[in-house]
Copies of this chain bind each other. A is one copy, B any other.
Amino acid sequence: MLNYSVSEENYIKAIFHLQQQDGTVTTNELAGELNTRPASVTDMMKKLKAKKLVHYQPYRGFRLSAEGSKVALGIIRRHRLWEYFLAEKLKFSWDEVHAVAEELEHVSSKKLIEKLDEFLGYPKADPHGDPIPDVNGKIEHYSYQCLASLPANKLVVVSHVSNQSNEILDLLKHKKISIGTKLEIKRRFDFDDSMEIKIGRQPVFTISKQVAENIFVKIN
């Protein structure tokens, strides 16, 4: 496996995360994610395309190639192992681990990561509950839970919507619920299984049983 620059790795990782949601990633999206300019993204996409890490046609967006995904999973593996180390061994608090792991993940020694993994006892997930890919880049997929099945007072992240109809998407769009939205379940009503939900600091609103049954979440 070749070696990539810190910059290249950051682009690859960002594309990986963005394409989880969107399938294909746009120049502006990626520029936003990386706090850089669209022109810089175009430059880097040309480079990554030349290295066969992304599929890219001008003006048409891009996504990782198989090889690119493998590289991304390697970076994510390193990141999450370091996060686990920082939280578990060095007693960093949950919100501090990410920034430091962003630096550590670029240290490229393969042996370091294998030894670290062993030292940590082969953890399955990082402190945020995100699964840690194995040496071969295999990642356990999330077992999403149906929002309708959860009790009150849970903080969750929307991860999947199991219904592609215009009707539900229209409703979700109106309620400003999309993939990645953080929801807090405030109350459940036994009468009709409706739920009161809060997003950030916005006012509480209600969703019906039928809606909740189609939303799948990761518990935070």
Contact = CB atoms under 8 A, between A and B. Distances in A.
Contacts of A100: 107, 109, 111-112
A107 B103 CA distance: 6
A8 interface: no
Q: What's the dominant secondary structure at chain A's contact region?
A: helix
Interface string A75-109: 00000000000100111100010011001100111
A115 interface: yes
Contact of A111 (B96, B112, B115): B96
Nearest to A99: B109
A111 to B, nearest CB: 7
Interface of A: 86, 89-92, 96, 99-100, 103-104, 107-109, 111-112, 115-116, 118-119
23 contacts: A86-B112, A86-B115, A89-B119, A90-B112, A90-B115, A90-B116, A90-B118, A90-B119, A91-B115, A91-B119, A92-B111, A92-B115, A96-B111, A100-B107, A100-B109, A100-B111, A100-B112, A103-B107, A103-B108, A103-B109, A104-B104, A104-B107, A107-B107
